[in-house]
Amino acid sequence: MVPVSTKISPLLEVVTPIPQEDRKRQADLKEVPAIVASALILLALATSILAWALTEVESPGEVTSGEDQTEPVVPDMEMAEPSKGVSEGVTERTYSGVLLASGHATSTEYVWSNVMLVWQRTVFHFQPEKNWMNDPNGPLYHKGWYHIFYQWNPEGAAWGNKISWGHAVDSKDLLHWYHLPWAMYPDQPYDLNGVWTGSATTLPDGKLAMLYTGETEDELVQDQCLADPVNPTDPLLVDWVKYSVNPVIYPPPGIGVKDFRDPTTACRSPAGNDTRLITIGSKLGKTGISLVYETTNFTTFKLLYGVLHAVPGTGMWECVDLYPVSTKSVIVITQENGLDTSVHGLGVKHVLKTSFDDDKHDYYALGTYDLQADTFVPDDPDLDVGIGLRLDYGKYYAARTFYNQNKQRRILWGWIGETDLEAVDPMKGWASLQAIPRSIVFDKKTGTNVLQRPEEEVESWSTRSKTFHDISFEPGSVVPIHVTGATQLDITASFEVDETLLETTSESHDAGYDCSNSGGAGTRGSLGPFGLLVVADEKLSELTPVYLYVAKGGEGKAKAHLCTYQTRSSMASGVEKDVYGSAVPVLDGENYSARILTDHSIVESFAQAGRTSVRSRDYPTKDIYGAARSFFFNNATEASVRASLKAWQTKSFIRPYPFIPDPKS
């Protein structure tokens, strides 16, 4: 493994495993109620699915004007939410103003109405029924069911010290989610300050091992813990039991007790004998690192010498993920297939992804995972973790993948936090959501990045569509897109521009063009910006441009950028209004393309089949319900643009069970 300047002593054996017969006896005590509960839940679920099949899901009643959207929200008491757990990897909100009993915040004059706040809740993104949510945890596919666990505060809509694991299941399409009772709660000395992020490993015999980070209440020590399903044959995995001799891994010498978290899914070791490897994020000074542990039973672990990988200046690494992607089309492995975590060899590269605690962004690098040396080597040092590529260039963090062995796909989840006033969350009763689940594959055309695409099931979410072919719009034009239900759309668009115009332009602002520092959609060039105005009102007083800007890059060649511009996304103050985005590779012979999903207060954008993606949280006050509109726009100075588009309207699917027996009550 890669040596580092500070030596980390191997931790040869962390705990003594509990006798197997004792462990089995503990599980047996809980199996009977769990089996009964699961049977009742399955019966309830079957009834609910049948009801869904017979009943059309309706969107909230449409509001066609802003006249009745000003009912003030007057809270019963003064609310000042506590600061988020920055040391635990939760983003500190920029706008954390105190909301007073008048309905006003100390840092803003804006008064939200109930109509506006109700509209902000999404309809096809995953959210708990109420309260705070952050990282996705231990996603898996088990006996015909998708499972997502997530960081959840059962006590309110702000981050707190009782972070638990929420749990939901879906049997169809990563959309028809049903909320189950919480899976784990901080109730043991080793996790009293929170049951934090972790990962699931499916073993060859069908059993599951769930590793997670706990934090002690007294000294705030981050340790790694094990939990098992009480009944692994239960497809819903309703009940979980924590290992009686937790924690299974303590912070090793040389590692800060608060800098040791988020174990990964285990992969098989070349040593054989059921040996598996996991990695855990940490840091040494300002150098982000990932430690590697070896285990044969998930109850005792050996720390291997050195680190999997280290990048100076990147700070604390959390939510590390290491997984293979296919690079060749052979008999079994194709580009469209995902790969099991333990696959390696010819035709395989590895993705090392980390979440940076210092800036709250997710970075990744492509490279080679050397199982013999337990090291990761990036293909290009200039594109190493934290130096080159990000998974997303907007509001997106703590991503976690899992392998769907049924469909042979690797699926990516990620957390999208709030960017408005923290004090508004208790008024809504919830905070944060999960991004659309995406399949992730190697980009064979460029060879330098991955492709992230909404899962193919997303196409089944739509109710109706409208298509527009070969629409031409001149420089400086805005063209309405006449579609209904503009608050929840799935749009694919293709654009053609005349790149020969770059030969006659010498625009100085194009040199080193960057979305974040460009001035947004108002900065005009010969070939851009052009794209769509989404979540907009009729008068364009509120709008979110999602656009491509074609700049004159090196050697006079075109260089495209995908950007999202939030400055006019909301009339409200106390809301972050940024310009997100990055460059996106466009190869010879390719048209410029984008896919945009709008779901009330979230806009997700993908360019060139997912080479670059951007997510933004928007909080409009006017363009809500039936008042929302969409437009083409071309703000280039010279180029005309020809566009084709298809827009699907989507429905709401996430529901609670009609009846949920809670074995914990």
Mean pLDDT calculated for residue range 583-589 = 94
Of 20 and 426, the structure prediction assigns the larger pLDDT to 426
Residues 564, 605: Cα–Cα separation, whole Å: 8
User: What dotted CATH number matches 462-649?
Assistant: 2.60.120.560
Cα–Cα–Cα angle for 240, 244, 245, rounded to 5 degrees: 135
Backbone CA torsion sign across 494, 497, 502, 507: negative
Q: Is 42 helix (H, G, I), strand (E, B) or coil?
A: helix
Of 564 and 207, the structure prediction assigns the larger pLDDT to 564
Determine how many CB atoms are found less than 10 A away from the CB of residue 241: 19
Per the structure block, which two tokens stand in for 279? Answer: 């990695």
Residues 147, 170: Cα–Cα separation, whole Å: 7
Would you say residue 657 has pLDDT above 50? no
Q: What is the mean pLDDT of the chain?
A: 83
pLDDT at 506: 65
Q: Which amino acid, 144?
A: G
Mean pLDDT calculated for residue range 218-226 = 95
How far is CA 474 from its chain centroid? Answer: 37
- Give whole-number Cα distances, 118 to 429, 536, 619, 624, in Å: 10, 18, 11, 10
Residues 187, 189: Cα–Cα separation, whole Å: 7
pLDDT at 174: 85
Task: Give 39-68 pLDDT, tens digit per residue.
Answer: 555 555 544 443 333 333 333 333 333 333
Of 169 and 500, the structure prediction assigns the larger pLDDT to 169
Per the structure block, which two tokens stand in for 408? Answer: 């042979």
Which residue in 613, 584, 612 sits closest to 513, CA to CA? 584
Mean pLDDT calculated for residue range 558-584 = 94
Burial class of residue 130, CB neighbours in 10 A (0-12, 13-18, 19+): middle
End-to-end C-alpha distance for the chain, whole angstroms:
48
Would you say residue 123 has pLDDT above 50? yes
pLDDT at 53: 35
pLDDT at 555: 67
pLDDT at 508: 53
| Catalytic annotation present for 380 | no
Who's near 222: CB < 8 A, 6+ residues apart?
196, 213, 214, 215, 251, 257, 258, 259, 260, 261
Would you say residue 101 has pLDDT above 50? no
Looking at the DSSP bridge assignments, the partners of residue 646 are 467, 492
Q: Tell me the CATH number of domain 120-449, given options 3.40.50.1980, 3.40.50.1000, 2.115.10.20, 3.30.70.100.
A: 2.115.10.20
Of 424 and 101, the structure prediction assigns the larger pLDDT to 424
- Percent of the chain's residues with pLDDT above 90: 65
pLDDT at 662: 42
Which residue in 649, 651, 560, 576 sits closest to 619, CA to CA? 576
Mean pLDDT calculated for residue range 268-296 = 94
Tell me the pLDDT band of 12, cut-offs 50, 70 and 90.
Answer: very low
Predicted model pTM: 0.85
Which residue in 515, 513, 570, 576 sits closest to 541, CA to CA? 570
Lowest-pLDDT range of 200-214, 248-262, 319-333, 560-574: 319-333
Of 58 and 640, the structure prediction assigns the larger pLDDT to 640
Under 8 Å between Cβ of 135 and 230:
no
pLDDT at 21: 41
Residues 22, 28, 68, 135: which is the catalytic one? 135
pLDDT at 467: 93
Per the structure block, which two tokens stand in for 661? Answer: 């027996």
Which residue in 167, 169, 173, 154 sits closest to 212, CA to CA? 167
DSSP 138-162: EEEEETTEEEEEEEE-TT-SS--TT
Of 9 and 256, the structure prediction assigns the larger pLDDT to 256
H-run or E-run covering 134: strand 131-142
Residues 346, 449: Cα–Cα separation, whole Å: 18
Lowest-pLDDT range of 193-202, 310-319, 322-331, 440-449: 322-331
Under 8 Å between Cβ of 417 and 85:
no
Q: Where are the beta strands (DSSP E) in 285-372?
A: 287-295, 302-303, 309-311, 317-326, 348-356, 361-370
pLDDT at 271: 78
456-486 burial code (b ≥16 CB/10 A, e <16): ebbeebbeeeeebeeeebebebebebebebb
Under 8 Å between Cβ of 248 and 258:
no
Mean pLDDT calculated for residue range 379-392 = 96
H-run or E-run covering 552: strand 544-552
Mean pLDDT calculated for residue range 419-440 = 94
pLDDT at 336: 64
Q: Do domains 120-449 and 462-649 have the same CATH topology?
A: no
Would you say residue 334 has pLDDT above 60? no
pLDDT at 652: 67
Q: Is 424 helix (H, G, I), strand (E, B) or coil?
A: helix
Domain ranges in the chain are 120-449, 462-649
Residues 607, 481: Cα–Cα separation, whole Å: 20
Residues 165, 147: Cα–Cα separation, whole Å: 12
Tell me the pLDDT band of 173, cut-offs 50, 70 and 90.
Answer: confident
Residues 238, 97: Cα–Cα separation, whole Å: 39
Residues present in the chain in total: 665
Per the structure block, which two tokens stand in for 617? Answer: 């949280």
Mean pLDDT calculated for residue range 655-664 = 42
Of 245 and 372, the structure prediction assigns the larger pLDDT to 245
Mean pLDDT calculated for residue range 534-563 = 90
Mean pLDDT calculated for residue range 121-126 = 92
Tell me the pLDDT band of 86, cut-offs 50, 70 and 90.
Answer: low
pLDDT at 90: 59
Task: Give 479-511 pLDDT, tens digit per residue.
Answer: 999 988 889 999 999 999 987 787 777 665 566
Which residue in 170, 119, 112, 202 sits closest to 485, CA to CA? 119
pLDDT at 554: 66
Tell me the pLDDT band of 651, cut-offs 50, 70 and 90.
Answer: confident
Q: Count, in order, helices (H) and strands (E) of the chain.
A: 3, 37
pLDDT at 57: 31
Under 8 Å between Cβ of 150 and 131:
no
Task: Give 594-611 pLDDT, tens digit per residue.
Answer: 999 999 999 999 999 999
Tell me the pLDDT band of 1, cut-offs 50, 70 and 90.
Answer: low
Would you say residue 351 has pLDDT above 80? yes
Would you say residue 400 has pLDDT above 70? yes
pLDDT at 461: 76
pLDDT at 312: 98
Mean pLDDT calculated for residue range 423-447 = 94
Residues 440, 366: Cα–Cα separation, whole Å: 13
pLDDT at 55: 34
Q: Where are the beta strands (DSSP E) in 586-637?
A: 592-599, 602-607, 612-617, 629-634
